[in-house]
Copies of this chain bind each other. A is one copy, B any other.
C-alpha cells in the first residue's frame, strides 16, 4: 500500500521516453511517429511505453507542462527587468514564440486536439487546468501593479491577454513568412491596440463584461 515510493529507474524511464518521443515528433511529425517507433527508439517494448504514458496524447500533455515551466522561467527574468506594461507584455509573448519556434510543425499537428473540451489535450479541459492557470498567472505578473489597469480589472485583463495569446499561437503555427515575421508584427500591433484600448474600455464597460463572462462561467468570480 506504499504507493508513494519513487523508483529512480522508473521515473528515469518516463523522462527517457518523453525525450525520445519529442525528438521523433520534431523529426518526423506527430502522425509520422508511431508508438512502436517511440518504444523501439527508447529500447523498450510497446507495452512499456503505454505503462508510462496511457496514450499518445499523454505525451503531448507532458510536453505542455515542460513548455509551461520553461516559459514561466524565461518570463520571470524579463519581468524583473522591464518596468512598463507594454514592454512586459511584449516580452512575455515574444518569449513564448521564441521557445516554440522550432516546434511549429509539431504544434500544428497537435492543434487538432486543442479545441473541444472533451479531449484531454484541449486548452479548456480539466486535465490542462493547472497549466492553463500558470499561463494566465504569467500575464497577471506582466500586468503587475501597472496603474493604467485598475486593480480589480487585472484578472479579467490577464485572461483576455491569454485568449489573445491563444489566437496568436494559432496564427503562428501556420505562419509561413520568414522567421514568422508576420506573427511578430501581429503580436506588436495587437498589443499596441490592446494597451491603447483597454484603459478607456475597461472603465465604462468593465462591469457588464465581467457579469457576462461570469454568468457564462468563462471567468471565475473572485475568491
Contact = CB atoms under 8 A, between A and B. Distances in A.
Interface of A: 108-109, 111-119, 124, 170-171, 173-174, 182, 185-186, 189-190, 192-193, 196-197, 201, 205, 208-209, 212, 215-218
A216 B171 contact: yes
Given A109-B118, A116-B112, A117-B174, A193 B216 contact: no
The DSSP consensus for interface residues of chain A is: helix
Number of copies of chain A assembled together: 2
Nearest to A185: B215
A121 to B, nearest CB: 9
A149 to B, nearest CB: 19
Contact of A114 (B115, B124, B182, B208): B115
Most interface-central of A117, A197, A209, A216 (chain B CB within 10 A): A216
A170 B115 contact: yes
Contacts of A218: 171
Contacts of A173: 116
Given A108-B118, A190-B212, 6 more contacts: A108-B116, A112-B115, A186-B216, A189-B212, A192-B208, A197-B201
A193 to B, nearest CB: 7
Nearest first, the 8 A-B pairs at minimum CB distance are A111-B116, A189-B212, A117-B174, A111-B115, A186-B216, A112-B116, A112-B113, A112-B112
